[in-house]
Amino acid sequence: MGEASTVDLCGKIALVTGARRGLGKATALAMARAGAELALNDVADGAGEAEAAAEEIRSLGRKAVTVLADVTDAAQVESMVERVLSDMGGLDILINNAGITRDALLLRMSDEQWRQVIEVNLTGTFLCTRAAAKHMAKHGGAIVNISSVVGLAGNIGQANYAASKAGIIGLTKTCARELAARGVRVNAIAPGFIESQMTERLPPQVRERMLGQIPLGRMGAPEEVAAVAVFLASPAAAYVTGQVICVDGGMVMA
């Protein structure tokens, strides 16, 4: 048995998708504080916020670049990874965080609402994983996919989102099996109710109902999910692959 490893990302280069704000930004900042250099991805409309997040990371003394790309476009994803390799000198960690919601009850959900969520959340994760794995397969790496407890338990009005997040879990386990021999670990995080701009706008009665489903009695903070992502990407998790870690205050217990 080897010596215990620490949560240390010094010398590592990480790409975080959907990184301009929320969980993506919190994860990028947490990785920078653990020593990593960052490439922050988002869509063109989020260029300003992505660059502001990159500047925060630079203020910590870490290198950071923004790489704008639509994760649903295979050509853009391939170009994004190539740019990270050329600008940063490598790629050790991929955090597949980019995601959207287009909520509607099943009988009212449009084909477009279904397609948009599946394309961004699931296809985007697949495309980024495939592109990064081509490089990581040469020297090893770590991939962390952001799923959701909704992908484990379902949720009314989110057939598209639940399907996409459940798909990410299946993709995670398959990629973990395929890439293990290449030294690439693949894990997923399933956040529960996390404080965000969206949850801040919820009516008090809805918020209370949500809190009633959480044994710990509170919503999580983006930083609490980010801490698990840092762990999974680090040498401390060297023997962890193919796992789904719920960060949900006990909402979903297998």
Query: How high is the pLDDT of residue 1?
Result: 44
Residue 128 pLDDT greater than 50, yes or no: yes
Output the pLDDT for position 207: 86
Q: What is the mean pLDDT of residues 95-116?
A: 97
Residue 161 known to be catalytic = yes
Q: Does residue 119 carry a pLDDT above 80?
A: yes
Q: What is the pLDDT of residues 47-100, one digit of tens each?
A: 999 999 999 999 999 999 999 999 999 999 999 999 999 999 999 999 999 999
Give 220-243 pLDDT, tens digit per residue: 999 999 999 999 999 999 999 999
**Sequence-ordered strand ranges (E) for 43-126:** 64-68, 93-96
- Between the two ends of the chain, the Cα-to-Cα distance in Å is 29
What is the side-by-side order of every strand in the sheet holding 141-146? Answer: 64-68, 37-42, 13-16, 93-96, 141-146, 184-191, 244-247
Q: What is the pLDDT of residue 5?
A: 55
**What pLDDT score was predicted for residue 199?**
76
Q: Which of 185, 192, 164, 189 is nearest to 242 (CA)?
A: 185
**Topology of domain 13-245, CATH:** Rossmann fold (3.40.50)
Task: Give per-residue pLDDT as tens, 166-199.
Answer: 999 999 999 999 999 999 999 999 999 999 876 7
What average pLDDT score do residues 2-23 get? 87
Where along the chain do its domains lie?
13-245
3 contacts: CB under 8 Å, gap ≥ 6: none
From the list 161, 244, 246, 247, the catalytic residue is 161
